[in-house]
Homo-oligomer: A and B are copies of this chain.
């Protein structure tokens, strides 16, 4: 099994998700070592997050934590005050990489807390503690996903066909996945599950990553273009929708990959349950509703070109919002590692958020 991200010999190793699926591209173009990239400079980790070498809210969180740890190791200051000042700069750079996934900021906050919780430690000790914390975030993320899977599997009937959008899988997390984690858990529970995967333009996370991941696990997967989801629902081929999330507001409004909102509207029209699977770290109680979630607009080249080949006339105007917000009224339930949140989400999310983990 592939590893999305790893801390190894004081560097961050990540699979370059832009190059996947390797089956085709790797064999013709690249040696294995080119697929896994090793980062020794936190600025390169920041760039890797920006350029989507790594993507998916939980994986971005882990990468940011490891990036911050790497940045800490690179600080020369020996005494605490100088270290703390440099460390603040590292965190700021890491926080500027992508705006929508709140896990990024959550992970950086967790790293900052290490300094607060160890007010007497010097630079060297802090470095070790920060590396340890990044490793903990990584390890806990897999555990969180597995717990989420257990909660989510109960919502999935045997012989269900599940539609998913984008990649909320092992590649979007430290491992196992959020939406795909629920699918994996249902399969582990002995259920016969079929999956439809939206290809997810413009970055094609569905065709390149989700289809690849699920095939590797031997899960029955059918790839469709995003605009076929409505057709499949109308034909009665979809029983349930599960997606991940990049940020969930206090009222349950959910930012996720562009196109999620359309899938949610279609699910409602066809009376199909629509589930969001995300760790508690994706919930942003400080944001009241979805309108306040910042939506990243990315380079128009993602739309006008596919792997450097132009598919649109030069000079055309393009919009490229990377996410959209699905209002809570379209969401049946939100699956977290601490349990399943149902309406009213405001109350229920707040309660889950405050539970000590693991939940009783």
**A residues within 8 Å of B by Cβ?**
21, 23-25, 198-202, 204, 207-208, 211-212, 215, 220-232, 234, 258-259, 261-262, 265-266, 269, 303-304, 306-307, 309-321, 324-325
Contacts and interface: CB of A to CB of B under 8 A. Distances in A.
B228 A321 contact: yes
Q: How many copies does the complex hold?
A: 2
Contact of A226 (B25, B201, B312): B201
A324 B199 CA distance: 18
Nearest to A290: B234
B311 A207 contact: yes
Nearest to A307: B309
A309 B307 CA distance: 8
Contact of A313 (B211, B309, B314): B211
Given A202-B225, A223-B318, A225-B201, A313 B261 contact: no
A311 B302 CA distance: 14
22 contacts: A21-B313, A24-B313, A198-B227, A199-B303, A200-B227, A204-B311, A208-B311, A208-B312, A212-B312, A215-B315, A222-B317, A223-B316, A223-B317, A223-B319, A225-B258, A225-B320, A226-B226, A226-B227, A227-B227, A227-B262, A231-B258, A306-B309
A322 to B, nearest CB: 10
Contact of A231 (B231, B261, B266): B261
Contacts of A207: 303-304, 311-312, 316
Given A199-B201, A201-B199, A222-B319, A227 B313 contact: no
Contact of A316 (B204, B215, B229, B320): B215
Contacts of A315: 215
A18 to B, nearest CB: 12
